[in-house]
């Protein structure tokens, strides 16, 4: 079977290669496509370096022709970054200049990223529909919820969004208690959710865990939000709730440091330049850069910017195991499994989250088998949780309309309605600066 990766020149693509090459799964052909020929060539060199001296039946091809890359695809993986890391720098730093959160998927930074990415995602969906009409599409392009929803306009249930953050939270619970979590109840939208149950040995261990300070001390999210909060809530929040619940602290910390976008822009440019100059060292250079990237993840918002993630914590996450499990199960090469995925809110005549519209993309547990992805019934959602999700999804809906209708007023309403924005005039000013300084934003809304 063939997997086509759009955004195949991306820095993390070799991680997917390693997962596929080390697994006796259904994928025997990997096609990488990217608009950046230099980055694509470097990734090809990295993969050849990783493959040296190993035995694998995985065929790897590269091309800048996205249509040709899609021909024959059984699975399509979308991981594009419209505007590159330089665009992310603008997303984050423009927001900070206006006193707002600078983060690539949360707040106005996320909305700016979505504005310039949604039109490209819609175009890609149309090309996929034409050139790979039978392919399943896995979206990892951020902001994953709104981009998956945009692609669903053309591809419907064929496109599934993934994120490694929710399953990383589940895995951290399992690691903290030394047991495998067999089932779970998780509810949210992308980068905004809560783990509400964790089943081990047929019983929910989460209530007892939330009362055990010694165990909670081994779970990063509990330490981030406070043991009293998670115990009172009866749930473990996704780490991205930090940006909503501690917005002032997040802005203060990020303002005083190098933004994550600025760090990655410098690191990646240095890596690609060095690897292009010394292709025989590309795999070595990539491993070193990846290790530094993973260890520093989240550092721009941590209280101690010098703190680094432990190797054991890093091993509990990663998007590639999620994508691999999804492909293997859909291809009938693995037993049915429970996964947390980004899917349509409406399924089997009901809504996963009653307070959201049918077409909203939500992040919920699903049963995956060879017949497809089947969202599971979840417990009712509290007003506390639903209120924040409704507000954030309303912004997504306005962005989708703004880009479809090319209407700047709709984009302004999206910015002003966001829970991390407290002023219409500030929303107006920051949107104007995005339109002026970040390529693709103004064109997306006809400004």
pLDDT in tens, 30-65: 999 999 999 999 999 999 999 987 878 899 999 999
pLDDT at 298 exceeding the cut of 80: no
CATH number of the domain within which 198 lies? 3.90.110.10
Overall number of domains in the chain: 2
Of 136, 148, 133, 19, residue with least CA distance to 79? 148
pLDDT at 378 exceeding the cut of 90: yes
Say how far apart CA 32 and CA 10 lie, in whole Å.
10
CATH number of the domain within which 108 lies? 3.40.50.720
User: Is 255 within a domain?
Assistant: yes
The pLDDT of 423-438, averaged and rounded, is: 97
pLDDT at residue 301, as a whole number: 66
* Percentage with pLDDT > 70 across the chain: 99
Answer yes or no: do 134 and 92 share one domain.
Answer: no
pLDDT in tens, 241-259: 999 999 999 999 888 888 9
Instruction: Provide the domain limits for residue 75.
Output: 2-84+101-161
The pLDDT of 68-75, averaged and rounded, is: 98
pLDDT at residue 102, as a whole number: 82
The pLDDT of 207-225, averaged and rounded, is: 93
In angstroms, the Cα distances linking 441 to 81, 92, 430 are 14, 14, 12
User: Is 62 within a domain?
Assistant: yes
pLDDT at residue 317, as a whole number: 73
Answer yes or no: do 350 and 201 share one domain.
Answer: yes
Identify the weakest region by mean pLDDT among 275-279, 305-309, 421-425: 305-309
DSSP state letters, 292-325: HHHHHTTTTTSSSTT----HHHHHT--HHHHHHH
pLDDT in tens, 151-182: 999 999 999 999 999 999 999 999 999 999 99
* Torsion sign across C-alpha atoms 177, 341, 9, 53: positive
The pLDDT of 73-93, averaged and rounded, is: 96
Q: Strand 159-161 vs strand 136-139: parallel, antiparallel, or unpaired?
A: parallel
Q: Which two tokens stand for residue 105?
A: 């998927």
User: Is 351 within a domain?
Assistant: yes
pLDDT at residue 426, as a whole number: 98
pLDDT in tens, 99-141: 999 888 999 999 999 999 999 999 999 999 999 999 999 999 9
Answer yes or no: do 196 and 342 share one domain.
Answer: yes
User: Is 285 within a domain?
Assistant: no
The pLDDT of 68-81, averaged and rounded, is: 97
User: Is 301 within a domain?
Assistant: no
Say how far apart CA 427 and CA 82 lie, in whole Å.
22
Strand runs labelled E in 380-445: none
Q: Strand 183-189 vs strand 136-139: parallel, antiparallel, or unpaired?
A: unpaired
Q: What is the mean pLDDT of the chain?
A: 94
The pLDDT of 188-205, averaged and rounded, is: 97
The pLDDT of 260-284, averaged and rounded, is: 96
DSSP state letters, 33-49: E-S-HHHHHHHHHHHHH
pLDDT in tens, 325-343: 999 999 999 999 999 999 9
Answer yes or no: do 133 and 178 share one domain.
Answer: no
pLDDT at 183 exceeding the cut of 80: yes
């Amino acid at each position: 079977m063939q997997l086509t990766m759009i955004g195949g020149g991306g820095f993390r693509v070799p991680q997917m290669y390693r997962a596929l090459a080390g697994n006796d799964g259904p994928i025997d052909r990997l096609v990488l496509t990217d608009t950046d020929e230099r980055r694509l060539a470097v990734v090809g060199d990295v993969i050849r370096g990783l493959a040296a001296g190993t035995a694998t039946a995985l065929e790897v091809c590269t091309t800048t022709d996205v249509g040709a890359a899609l021909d024959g695809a059984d699975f399509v993986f979308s991981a594009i970054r419209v505007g590159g890391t330089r665009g992310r720098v603008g997303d984050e730093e423009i927001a900070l200049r206006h006193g707002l959160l600078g983060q690539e998927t949360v707040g106005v930074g996320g909305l700016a990223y979505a504005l310039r990415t949604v039109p490209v995602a819609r175009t890609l969906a149309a090309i996929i529909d034409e050139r790979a009409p039978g392919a399943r599409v896995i979206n990892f392009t951020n902001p994953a919820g709104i981009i998956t929803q945009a692609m669903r306009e053309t591809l419907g249930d064929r496109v599934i969004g993934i994120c490694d953050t929710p399953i990383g939270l589940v895995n951290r619970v399992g690691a903290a208690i030394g047991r495998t979590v067999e089932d779970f109840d998780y509810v949210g939208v992308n980068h905004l959710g809560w783990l509400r149950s964790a089943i081990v040995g047929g019983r929910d261990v989460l209530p007892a865990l939330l009362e055990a300070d010694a165990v909670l001390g081994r779970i990063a999210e509990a330490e981030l939000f406070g043991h009293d909060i998670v115990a009172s809530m009866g749930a473990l929040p996704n780490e991205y709730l930090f940006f909503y619940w501690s917005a002032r602290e997040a802005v203060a910390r990020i303002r005083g440091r190098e933004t994550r976008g600025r760090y990655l822009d410098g690191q990646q440019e240095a890596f690609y330049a060095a690897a292009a100059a010394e292709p025989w060292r590309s795999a070595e250079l990539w491993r070193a850069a990846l290790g530094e990237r993973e260890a520093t993840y989240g550092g721009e918002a941590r209280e101690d910017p010098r703190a680094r993630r432990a190797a054991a914590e890093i091993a509990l996450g990663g998007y590639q195991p999620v994508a691999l499990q999804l492909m293997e199960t859909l291809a009938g090469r693995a037993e049915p499994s429970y996964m947390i995925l980004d899917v349509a809110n409406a399924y089997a005549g009901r809504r996963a989250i009653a307070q959201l519209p049918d077409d909203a993309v939500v992040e919920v547990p699903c049963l995956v088998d060879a017949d497809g992805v089947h969202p599971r019934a979840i417990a009712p959602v509290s007003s506390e949780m639903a209120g924040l999700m409704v507000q954030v999804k309303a912004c997504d809906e306005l962005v989708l309309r703004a880009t479809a209708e090319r209407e700047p007023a709709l984009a302004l309403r999206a910015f002003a309605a966001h829970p991390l924005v407290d002023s219409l005039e500030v929303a107006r000013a920051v949107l104007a600066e995005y339109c002026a300084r970040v390529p693709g934003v103004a064109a997306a809304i006809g400004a």
